Structure 1
Amino acid sequence: KSVQALATFFKIKPEEILVVHDELDFKPGVVKLKHGGGNGGHNGLKDIDRVIGKNYWRARVGIGHPGDAAKVAGYVLNKPVTDDLVEIERSLDKLLKNFDMLIAGDFANAQKVIHTS
């Protein structure tokens, strides 16, 4: 609901929104940009999809997987181990270093740079 409230107040179209979220399917340190598509079961994305649709950008930041589906909830809600945290911070730095391209709407080049560096 917060995303919808901000988008409505500032008159931001869904395709102009970038949501940064954790991604269990990627190793820590991996970051990928994606436009639209499914939510992969991510509860936060499900909520956003319900209120603004799926036509928004996502920065999927890898956090790794605990290896056991029963441990996922605790894993995502707790602080990462030090080595993983270092890699996650590096991936966020990579995203921020290319943020000017994202703000300018140059997502294709941002994807190329972020996905290959």
Structure 2
Amino acid sequence: MIWIANLLVALVAALHVFFLVLEMFLWTKPLGLKVFRQTFDKAVSSAVLAANQGLYNGFLAAGLIWGLVQGTPAFAVQIKVFFLVCVIVAGVFGAATVSSRILLVQALPAAIALIALYLA
């Protein structure tokens, strides 16, 4: 069962790497404009904030990856739990303040991974 949990944690990490790329490098490009449903002018004016947000998503991904490669199993679980909870909190906050889609895209996968980790 742990391999399923780790696969789900890896998926959440990959999502956050994707968010990093979208927010730091593709924010004003067609894909970024489409994903975040914004105009080019709005994207240009918020690009620095988006890059900062992307960097934080990168830190979340790095923490999850750290948990996946950590050699001490008990410590690895603690790391994964901490960063999954961080992702869930960020997703709930984003859903409350920006868009309810964030709950499904960010918080739900992390919650599923956290449940799988608990069951493993």
* TM-score category, normalised to shorter length: 0.3 to 0.5
Q: Which has the higher strand share?
A: 1
Length-normalised TM-score, structure 2:
0.32
Which of 1 and 2 has higher RCO (CA within 8 Å, sep 6+)? Answer: 2
